[in-house]
Amino acid sequence: MATLTLIDTVPCANLLGEGVQWNHHDGCFWWTDIPSSRLYRYRISDKQLSTWDMPERLCCFTFAKNDARILAAFESGFAWFDIASGAVEWIAKPEEGVAGNRSNDGRCDRQGRFWMGTTVEQKNTPEQSAALYCLDQQFSVSKHFSGLMISNALCWSPDSRKLYHADSPTHSIRVYDFDAQTGELSNPEIFAHTEIGVEPDGACVDAEGFVWNAQWGGSRVVRYAPDGTKNLVLDMPVSQATCVAFGGNDFNLLAVTSARIGLSDAAITQQPQAGNLFIFQTDFTGLPEAWFG
């Protein structure tokens, strides 16, 4: 029987914690609180929490192999961000002309390309939708599909042959055949469903190829087998789990971000830890986060 033990809670009280990932160079979990326009870093060795204010809402980000700056997907697009100086170097704003949309969930594939999906925050036209974009090493942006509302759960199988993705309001995670060389997607299939009122949010894949998905409104993280069957449910003390990542020296620590945005005063009284970061010791092993470049 697999065990997951809560070993640390970071009392950050995020409005919408997202994008958590492990940096194997500095031994820290990093994540963003989107509405607060703030970047977080937590060093597990001495429990030191650091924060940085961002020039606009930081929706997801990645580290780079050959650049000390963070490659950010701010609300309005891709940019380099220098933590030390605060300097921003814009790369591309793929939805600059779409009022009401912003960047959302994203991460790098194992070939070093940075993917980011958008979300519709305010629908101004009937045909308005979100999409999934890829920024390659030549800083060229490609759109891979549109018609979305909230792009989420982006992750890849260990062999890079499958891409997982969710449009959260559809209550389903899809799996695609992924061409690692070209980045092209094909043959979409339903991988897993969530019930009404529970939406798939951020996800990651462990070393066995199982998909871990934080489920908004479900008070849980679910581990799915590669065939889409439910393997394990990790109950959370908060209703809005948002993203998951493995880290630690042995990649056996699972970090889970959460949110308190949208909760009533009564709900926050019932779940006072909403918005915190939770770290679990597990019997499972994750994979190193891929970096850009």
pLDDT tens, position by position, 127-148: 999 999 999 999 999 999 899 9
pLDDT at 271 (0 to 100): 98
The proportion of the chain whose per-residue pLDDT surpasses 70, expressed as a percent, equals: 100
Q: How many CB atoms lie within 10 A of CB 88?
A: 15
DSSP structural state of residue 44:
T
The proportion of the chain whose per-residue pLDDT surpasses 90, expressed as a percent, equals: 99
- Tokens 């493995």 locate to 246
What whole-number distance in Å separates Cα of residue 186 and Cα of residue 197?
A: 29
pLDDT exceeds 80 at position 158:
yes
Give the mean pLDDT of 220-238.
Answer: 98
Residues β-bridged to residue 193: 172
Which residue, among 9, 117, 70, has the nearest Cα to 289 in the 3D structure?
Answer: 70
Give the mean pLDDT of 158-172.
Answer: 98
What whole-number distance in Å separates Cα of residue 209 and Cα of residue 220?
A: 20
CB contact at 8 A, 133 and 118: yes
In this structure, the chain runs to a length of 293
- Beta strands 101-108 and 114-120: pairing type? antiparallel
pLDDT exceeds 80 at position 217:
yes
Which pLDDT band, with edges at 50, 70 and 90, does 123 fall under?
very high
pLDDT at 249 (0 to 100): 96
What whole-number distance in Å separates Cα of residue 105 and Cα of residue 117?
A: 6
How does pLDDT run across 12-64, given as a tens digit for each residue?
Answer: 999 999 999 999 999 999 999 999 999 999 999 999 999 999 999 999 999 99
Structure token pair of residue 150 = 């909230």
pLDDT at 2 (0 to 100): 86
- Tokens 């908060």 locate to 238
In the chain, count of helices (H) and strands (E)? 1, 24
pLDDT at 232 (0 to 100): 98
Cα end-to-end distance, the chain, whole Å? 39
Give the mean pLDDT of 108-117.
Answer: 98
Strands annotated E in 87-240: 88-92, 101-108, 114-120, 130-135, 141-148, 151-156, 162-167, 172-178, 185-193, 199-205, 211-216, 220-224, 230-235
How does pLDDT run across 167-191, given as a tens digit for each residue?
Answer: 999 999 999 999 999 999 999 999 9
